[in-house]
Amino acid sequence: MKSYPDSIKKVIENLQKLPGIGVKTAERLAMSLLRKNKKQAIALADSIKNMVENIKYCAKCRNFSENDVCEICASPSRDKSVICVVEKPEDFFAVERAGEYRGLYFVLHGSISPIEGIGAEELAIDYLVKRVKAEEIKEVIIATDPDVSGEATAIYIAKLLQDFDVVVSRIALGIPAGGHIGYADEITMSRALEGRRRIILE
Ligand SMILES: [Zn+2]
């Protein structure tokens, strides 16, 4: 059977490694990159290279950043006594978009999921504990998704921090159960933050 030239095959293979991209979509994207504006295809490749080479984890909050410490962590105008814990950088943007939160963040890059082999270590939760220990943190707001692993992560963090002089709260579940924080609109997000409750451990 005839197949694509090797250079096209390579692009299709690489596109297929992306989440949600099957072989048909990968083929269509590769063809589109070739057929349409070649300059645009080169610009896409360059921008991916530039992103991968320049983005690192912020040393404090682990959000993606071009500097060692991100703009928010470095900003003198943020309230340094509150940390909002989110699963993903997209969730951080959802909280920022709501426009009312002035504190700092901690990005886990996932949630505890034994089935997927994701534990506290993968999420660098010890970094968060170290910050609470070292900085003058009064409140940790947990804004993980309202699903099984998001809830498990919230309880896990609350337990780790229970002996510290810090309030650990959970955003209100105005966000529908099973929904994603990252998809919440500004009003839902504002209400979820405003209605947060202290986590009471049994
Ligand atoms: Zn940061």
Q: Are 110 and 85 contacting, i.e. CB atoms less than 8 angstroms apart? A: no
The reported pLDDT for the residue numbered 175 is 60
The ranges assigned to domains in the chain are: 6-54, 60-198
Q: Are 55 and 68 contacting, i.e. CB atoms less than 8 angstroms apart? A: no
Ligand 1 centroid–CA 98 distance in Å is: 18
Architecture of domain 60-198: 3-Layer(aba) Sandwich (3.40)
The reported pLDDT for the residue numbered 90 is 92
Q: How far apart are CA 66 and CA 75, in angstroms?
A: 15
The reported pLDDT for the residue numbered 117 is 86
Q: Per-residue pLDDT for the chain (202 aa), expressed as one digit of tens each?
A: 578 999 999 999 999 999 999 999 999 999 999 987 788 899 999 999 999 999 999 999 999 999 999 999 999 999 999 999 999 999 999 999 988 899 999 999 999 988 888 888 888 999 999 999 999 999 999 999 988 899 999 999 999 999 999 999 999 866 666 678 888 888 888 888 888 999 988 7
Which residues are near ligand 1, the ion (C-beta closer than 5 Å)? 58, 60-61, 70, 73
Ligand 1 centroid–CA 14 distance in Å is: 31
Class in CATH terms, 6-54? mainly alpha
The reported pLDDT for the residue numbered 2 is 73
Ligand 1 centroid–CA 65 distance in Å is: 7
Residue 113 is given by DSSP the state B
